Homo-oligomer: A and B are copies of this chain.
Amino acid sequence: MSPRRSAASRKAPLKNASLRNSAPIFAALGDETRLRLVAVLCAGGAVSIAQLTSGTAITRQAVTKHLHVLADAGLVQHVKVGRERQWQFEPTRLEEARRSLDLIARQWDQALQKLKMAVEA
């Protein structure tokens, strides 16, 4: 294929482990409905499914599924309170995602810096 070395192996750009861990978090956030749910939950406290549903055009079951997607990504948790199931935001994984974006941004800034220095040299 290519005579040159692979771009992926040439520089070892970011910790692969970090990326592997962050991708599912971004995937969970990559849906408008779920992003809205996260926003609601991080603003309030623990909220029931019925409450979360009443703001949307989709059914309760759809909301439930979205909540499970978020839970699988570790972004929300639930506790059973009486006949309700209350969901709450869990900030740890979101911090991970933030750090990943920060890493990428920093990497980019460094690349620009190097380019600038090379041009000025």
Contact = CB atoms under 8 A, between A and B. Distances in A.
Contacts of A22: 29, 35
Interface in A1-54: 1-2, 4-11, 13-14, 16, 19-20, 22-32, 35-36, 38-40, 42-45, 47-48, 50-54
Given A29-B23, A43-B13, A111-B45, A104 B56 contact: no
Interface string A79-119: 00000000001010011011011101101100100010000
Q: How large is the interface on A (under 10, 10 to 19, 20 to 34, 35 or more residues)?
A: 35 or more
List of 8 A-B pairs having minimum Cβ-Cβ separation, nearest first: A8-B55, A27-B30, A13-B43, A6-B54, A26-B30, A6-B55, A26-B29, A7-B51
Interface of A: 1-2, 4-11, 13-14, 16, 19-20, 22-32, 35-36, 38-40, 42-45, 47-48, 50-56, 89, 91, 94-95, 97-98, 100-102, 104-105, 107-108, 111, 115
Given A8-B40, A8-B54, A13-B40, 4 more contacts: A6-B51, A23-B35, A27-B31, A38-B104
